[in-house]
Amino acid sequence: MKILVCVTSVPDTTTKIAFTDNNTKLNKAGVTFITGPYDDYALARAVELKEKTGASITVLNVGEADSEPVIRKCLAIGADDAIRVNAEPTDAYFVAEQIAAIAQKTNYDLILMGRESIDYNGGQVHGIVGEMLDIPSISPVMQLDLDGDTAKITREIEGGKESLEAKLPLVLGCQEPIAEWKIPNMRGIMTARTKPLTVVEPTGTDKLTTVASYELPAPRGAVKMIPADQAETLIQLLHTEAKII
């Protein structure tokens, strides 16, 4: 079995965000980058499947050279080799196109990734990859088990969960509690240094979108405390100031 795990390199969740180039680019100065948390779940489940089935795991990242520490960490956790597409991940279609191009060269049984990245939170890539490869795409997957060439999946739906089965190959967008995050041990860190990391140039179309500008959220306003016995005042303020009713 061959598993492809697609990972993103994103700013740490505690990062103080700032922009540069007239608010069109993230200012990376002093920013710590991590593996996308949802991608971490996908990788953790892939490692568990590897331990059970003897599968091989390839990690794929669309990113520039500064994403390689994130890739090496994935190798330390348990991936066997890695591929980096040497390009800035400009939009979901471009990233999906790169993943599909790599996947078409190797018959992967499973393509796992996070349900979404935590920088743009688009949640689009898995669906586009599935369409490009003409295979099913399912998200957000909370549980994954394999029975031969059949995947038994539980995914989150509005108001509950859905259990289903699907034949491999599949593209899956993962989330908790599919697996517990794994921390690389010293042996894993040492062996990751010698595992293959192949860099390839991007393929396909040019980027289809351009960022006009980014802006930070508005600062939090002052809090008004309304006594519990003044419901009419609360309702009036929700209507006239908050404008949510």
pLDDT digits (tens, 9 = 90+) for 164-174: 999 999 999 99
User: Is there a contact between 102 and 85 (Cβ–Cβ < 8 Å)?
Assistant: yes
Q: In terms of Cα–Cα distance, which of 133, 196, 137 is closest to 166? A: 137
Task: Write the pLDDT tens digit of every residue in 8-30.
Answer: 999 998 888 889 999 988 888 88
Task: Return d(Cα 160, Cα 223) in angstroms, integer.
Answer: 34
Residue for token digits 């029975």? 147
Angle at 80 between CA 74 and CA 81, to 5 degrees: 80
The answer to whether residue 221 scores a pLDDT higher than 80 is no
Q: Are strands 56-63 and 150-157 parallel, antiparallel or unpaired?
A: unpaired
Averaged over 164-190, what is the pLDDT? Answer: 94
Mean pLDDT of the chain: 93
Q: CA-to-CA distance for 101 and 6, rounded, in angstroms?
A: 13
Domain boundaries, the chain: 2-218
Q: Write down the pLDDT at residue 75.
A: 97
> What is the mean predicted confidence (pLDDT) over 201-213?
84
| % pLDDT > 90, the chain | 73
Going 29 to 60 to 82 to 72, the CA torsion angle's sign is: positive
Q: In a 10 Å sphere around its CB, with 0-12 CB exposed, 13-18 middle and 19+ buried, how is residue 190 labelled?
A: exposed
pLDDT for 42 beyond 90: yes
- Looking at residues 111-132, what average pLDDT do you find? 94
Q: How is residue 55 written in tokens? A: 């599968």
205 — pLDDT class (breaks 50, 70, 90) = confident
Lookup: tokens for 226: 């309304």
Tell me how crowded residue 48 is: count the other CB atoms within 10 A of its CB. Answer: 17
The answer on pLDDT for 39 being more than 80 is yes
CATH architecture of 2-218: 3-Layer(aba) Sandwich (3.40)
Q: What is the pLDDT of residue 118?
A: 87
Q: Tell me the pLDDT band of 74, cut-offs 50, 70 and 90.
A: very high
Q: What is the pLDDT of residue 180?
A: 92
